[in-house]
Structure 1
Amino acid sequence: MSVQETDSEVKEKQQELARCIDRLVHTDGTHPTAIPSLRLIRTSTVSEPLHTVHEPSLCVIAQGSKFVALAQETFQYDPASYMIASVHLPVCGQIIQASEDSPFLGIQLGISTDQVLDMMKETSSAWRGKINSGRGISVSKTKPLLLDAIIRLVRLLEMPQDIPVIAPLIIREILYRVLQDEQGDLVRQFAVIGSHAQCVARVIQLIHSGYDQPLRIEDLAKEVNMSPSSLHQYFKKVTAMSPIQYQKQLRLQEARRLLISESMDATHAAYKVGYESPSQFSREYTRMFGLPPKSDVKQLQDSLYQGI
């Protein structure tokens, strides 16, 4: 099949996927579905930059465009490409193409290390060890076979009686397609016991479980049988930041949630997420979000009221 024929087939399937999503969701937002790991996304306006922790997942756009910033790196994807995150990563995302007439439409499918390991065991898709570690997020060109499987998965939402039996099979097919793709090794590396990437993934779990506690790189390195210098090196390769920078982003994102969702004052939020100095918290919060805590919360609340 020629490149032109492949591109034409991908475009047709993108349009079909967009129609499927449009039939199922009619309001903006991220919508959970009867398939636990699958969420449908619809947005009719260009969004402000949103700080969040991206879960391990496959993200496919049927209509619109988005960029995701990881530290100083930016990943842009659209219907011609898909994004996959292999570990939890603090990112800043923004939908950059969307309108009332042509809303942003996409899907997010959660993936797990166990799923990757199971697929590797049952196929010849062994990790070839070509790379010691790479970014925990990557963007690849969308292929027709991958899109076809995703369309069939989304269509199952209109046949809920079939979901328990058929959804796991299609999800396995989707994961198989991803592992066979050009970025397959970047996904496999996080499932291989003893690989540098798998050790980094374990450290990420440890930081998440104790983000409000003092971070000691020596203790983390000991947990995964690495030297502190090696852990620092490979952690930065995967996340584009140091363990301390990673923890700081988690703390600040959680503090922002506490300020907005629980109406907590800045000092209380600072202590809650592990800061010992409210003034340091305010400086780092301002550096990350562009405004001091009180002003940032007011601006966010005003924008929410304007949207009502």
Structure 2
Amino acid sequence: MGATKIEGSTMEKQAELARLIKRFSHQDGVLTTAIPSLHFVRSSNTTVPIHQVHEPALCIVTQGRKVVMLAEESYHYGTSDYLVVSVHLPISGQVIQASAEAPYLCLRLNFDPHQVLDLIKESAFPTSPMPDSRRGLYVSQTNSLLLDAVVRLVHLLENPQDVPVLAPLVIREILYRILQGNQGESLKQLVMTGSHSNRIAEVIKRIKQDYDKPLRIEELSKLANMSPSSLHRHFKEVTAMSPMQYQKQLRLQESRRLLLSESADAADVGFQVGYESPSQFSREYARLFGLPPISDIKRLRSDQDHQTT
């Protein structure tokens, strides 16, 4: 009986959250809110894979389904799951269940890993680093305690004057509930100073900062206080890819953004993001996005025109 009540409470909270997101999401796209770190995502159609560098965030789907690809790994999640991304990761995301009658609805709450670290320091969570690194992305099952806090956060949008004072408190509770989840240890390890995962997080920051510069494994190994082989192993545990593959993803995604936002020559953009060979840039771009740079940008602009007409 107790388990049935808990399950019923979870379903009620999911339904309430879906109603709230519908109320505040009047059109498709990524919608900002009065809470700077809180966004709603709505789509009335299934989508092609959309590439992005995902920042640390909690994502909860309240209607529809989505699949996220990290390197060769796929993560499916829907109304009974939530997704946590704990470091910047180059991914592709595809809405696989949506319609005009029942659009895909998702809540995304971005967070700073320092918020999590402060919470751990002030709580009773164990703080001894574990030897193994943890993946920087995972899917876990939602529960009524997490959903209750998320619903209260969204309700604050009805009274914007309450947001500056109450939103930080509720966000803190949400992060606490994630840490309490059955995969909360993964998030914990990535923020705890001295853990292998945390040292890899520092390497990720450096690669992201210097993505257009030559990758120097010796410098990254020194930064992480690891041997090159250990760095490679732990980096792959966190990101599902090697440091070189990670940098390549950053370069190609940034090049696509530049080509879409500017009338720049593809070869010039390739040089701008760190490629020395235009042919190599075009080849690797087509391998990731399915078409060479110019053809891909024409397709994307055509898709954008169709969406606005």
Fold match by TM threshold 0.5: yes
What residue in structure 2 maps to residue 205 of structure 1? 205
SS at 1:123's partner residue? coil
Contact 2:260 2:297 in 1 (8 A): yes
Q: How does 1:1-308 map to 2 (within 5 A)?
A: 2-127=2-127, 129-130=129-130, 132-307=132-307, 308=309
Give the RMSD, CA atoms, in angstroms.
1.2
Moved beyond 6 Å, runs of 4+: none
Give 1:129 deviation, angstroms.
4.0
Give 1:112 deviation, angstroms.
1.6
Distance 2:203 2:80 in 1: 33
How many residues were matched structurally? Answer: 308
Relative to the length of structure 2, the TM-score reads 0.97
Please list the CA deviations of residues 252-303 of structure 1 after superposition, one character each: whole Å capped at 9, or x if unmatched. 0011111111122210110010000000001101111111111111111122
Look up the equivalent residue of 2:206 and give its one-letter code.
Answer: L
Distance 1:2 1:214 in 2: 58
Please list the CA deviations of residues 86-111 of structure 1 after superposition, one character each: whole Å capped at 9, or x if unmatched. 10000010011111111111111112
Give 1:41 deviation, angstroms.
1.3
Please list the CA deviations of residues 148-188 of structure 1 after superposition, one character each: whole Å capped at 9, or x if unmatched. 10000001011001111111111111011100110111000
SS at 1:189's partner residue? helix
Distance 1:109 1:268 in 2: 36
Look up the equivalent residue of 2:256 and give its one-letter code.
Answer: R
Distance 1:131 1:28 in 2: 43
Contact 1:67 1:95 in 2 (8 A): yes
Contact 1:128 1:185 in 2 (8 A): no
CA pair 306-160 structure 1, distance change in 2 beyond 3 A: same
Look up the equivalent residue of 1:95 and give its one-letter code.
Answer: V
Distance 2:221 2:261 in 1: 35
Look up the equivalent residue of 2:208 and give its one-letter code.
Answer: H
Contact 2:67 2:94 in 1 (8 A): yes
Which blocks of at least 5 consecutive residues in structure 1 are unaligned?
none
SS at 2:194's partner residue? coil
Q: Which moved more, 1:280-289 or 1:121-130?
A: 121-130
Look up the equivalent residue of 1:72 and give its one-letter code.
Answer: E
Distance 1:150 1:125 in 2: 22
Contact 2:140 2:183 in 1 (8 A): yes
SS at 2:191's partner residue? coil
Look up the equivalent residue of 1:257 and give its one-letter code.
Answer: R
Q: Which moved more, 1:3-12 or 1:92-101?
A: 3-12
Q: Which moved more, 1:263-272 or 1:126-135?
A: 126-135
SS at 1:291's partner residue? coil
Distance 1:39 1:105 in 2: 11
Please list the CA deviations of residues 29-77 of structure 1 after superposition, one character each: whole Å capped at 9, or x if unmatched. 1111111111111111111100100100100111111110000000011
Relative to the length of structure 1, the TM-score reads 0.97
Give 1:199 deviation, angstroms.
0.6
Distance 1:193 1:121 in 2: 11
Distance 2:268 2:170 in 1: 46
